[in-house]
Structure 1
């Protein structure tokens, strides 16, 4: 089998994983199994438009507000589609959040709100608490993204700075009934963390948020308004009840990939943590044949380059393979299921045994967090375009 054939096979497996998280199909199945008498539909996240399309077919003539990222913000008849900034919140997201809050404040005891939640919703729907500006919240997002904190830690902090996150949406919608269909991009599928849990209890307290920021040595870099708010007294954590349903997740997509190659080795535990350590874990597990995994790693930003966790992980796997003296002919794909890795147009990287030979000074590029430039030089960027879904990251390694 040639490298070109293996690269095509890796891409086909990744595409199967993305297809298994199709938001239209997942939402349709959920509403067929458990119909919802919706009087208002709120959809937020990278998969919001697809989920809303299915919900509107099941609940015709119901008002629908959609907040999603630019790549997925195509018009949808009968719905109001709003694009917002991701991964850093912007004014468009703040205006969209105001419109969502106004719609929720207009429902009553006889109403039923159908909330469609997917990854990315945390940044897309910023509604800062009183005293914290949008600029301060955007600054916090940048600090968190560069800190090396994992998604649970970041979302715990974000919840404490938002009127909608950590069950805030439920408080605003009360006393209306709320059903949420959730497409998870979080390892372990803790619904409190997906889009920072608008229909779930908060992950923690202000004090815990302070501890996280201090542990990553960014507390003093936080805006004063944020430090003042997090240093205050915690509010009650009780929230109204919601009927939450998980309809798509990383393990589901991983199983769909594995179904295509029954003899593949599937890494059981999600691949998480620092990308350098993650590369070693993957290569330790990868015997000859096909190895599959899912997860969501972190990158500690030290340089000024462009890239993302998937691009950097792909390069670090190439470095590990070379250090281990692997036989020529191996191929590895590492990609984000949303089609966008960091602030770039790439989903990740598709590398092989010849990748490093096509890059000038890969060590310097990685030291500057410039994985995009390195993979672009090698011709190994994974470009998929926006997929309309988001269930974290998937990986494929094929060894002869």
Structure 2
């Protein structure tokens, strides 16, 4: 690993450490003054968030964790369930039913503490009446391959799920609900984090239908989903709740600034890098070509990939490969670009993203691959594997979206 590749990895690791969910919970969690206390933790950071809460709360009536299998482990004093990510399945639905039973315990003088982190949209599901788990999963598969942004996807999810878009509040209507949220959403819209179980929905069923029609997805959806969205009535007002943002992507970008090496002036170019990964790559390269080197250019956000092929990969892997393709012979030799998900998992792979440099495409070709064909097939994982450029770190136990750094020597 070259010095700049090590620097890029060090900066990524700093971003992950800054998103420590346990430290955030310890700093912000308030102990209820009276009544029984029920603690629910949902998302990829659920385990450390729950451990921190149990350590601070003097007494807990019941505690339930819903997380991904990679982050699941035994937590004394809590029940641990796993769901599927990024596409929900039967386990996700079973977790959703368990959450509904859990909430049903809370009474008028009780408090439900909801520890919410990214990934909960898939890990915990409760499909609306008449929609099967398989049909619900098919909708999510279509959304993930559509190129839609997270807010639009979660607007749809909220309208076909009993727990999302404030659904948790309705199910715990007698109790006081306090939400503590770790954001994986750029802009930190609380309604979009894990599809907003403790806040108002992003939109209506009619707006969800318009999103699906504009994306060309409506006609391909299961009949049960279309019928539900066409006939859904407007719900009444939500019960009151308290919600607090306790961590975000911006905090991690600032940690990357602090970790930049001497001699490499660092700056955050864009802390809201969203939209199609092709356009994001172009934006990064444009900033690189305009920058005075040496420099460390930092980005954060959550891009989308429009699936056109049958390959395996994720938005960070594809972004790394596309940047490499665009900057070939246009930057000083020795540049390094890293794009990674702070949760340690990019798409349905074991990689967090990729680390590319000026020789990445050459190594792919030497190993027998065609970078352009692999990209066209959305097969970024195979391409980066051939180059030895996958970013592998394992599940991190947190999730504040994605971070990128482009290091350009003099």
Q: How many residues align?
A: 395
Distance 1:137 1:282 in 2: 35
Report the alpha carbon displacement of residue 258 of structure 1 after superposing the two structures with TM: 1.1
Which runs of structure 2 are paired with 1:189-268 in the superposition (5 Å)? Answer: 189-236=188-235, 238-261=237-260, 263-268=265-270
- Determine which of 251, 273, 276 is the counterpart of 1:274: 276
**Alignment check: 8 A CA contact 1:36 1:114 kept:** no
What are the equivalent positions in structure 2 for 1:1-400 lying under 5 Å apart?
A: 4-31=2-29, 34-37=30-33, 39-62=37-60, 63-236=62-235, 238-261=237-260, 263-286=265-288, 287=291, 288=293, 289-322=295-328, 325-359=330-364, 360-400=369-409
- 1:259 Cα deviation from its structure 2 partner: 2.2
Q: Name whichever of 125-134 and 59-68 sits farther off.
A: 59-68
Structure 1: gaps spanning 5 or more residues = none
Q: Deviations over 1:153-179 (max 9, x none)?
A: 000000000111000000110120010
Is there any run of 5+ residues in structure 2 with no aligned partner, and where?
Answer: none
> In terms of mean alpha carbon deviation, does 252-261 or 145-154 score higher?
252-261
Contact 2:273–2:301, Cα closer than 8 Å, also in 1: yes
Instruction: Return structure 1 stretches of 4+ with deviation > 4 angstroms.
Output: none
String of CA shifts for 1:347-387, please: whole Å, max 9, x gaps. 00011111010112100000100000000000000001000
How big is the alpha-carbon RMSD for the aligned residues of Structure 1 and Structure 2?
A: 1.2
Aligned to 1:9, the other structure's residue is in SS state helix
- Structure 2: distance between partners of 1:336 and 1:268: 16
- TM-superposed CA distance for 1:234, in Å, is 2.9
Q: With structure 2 as the length reference, what TM-score do the two structures score?
A: 0.94
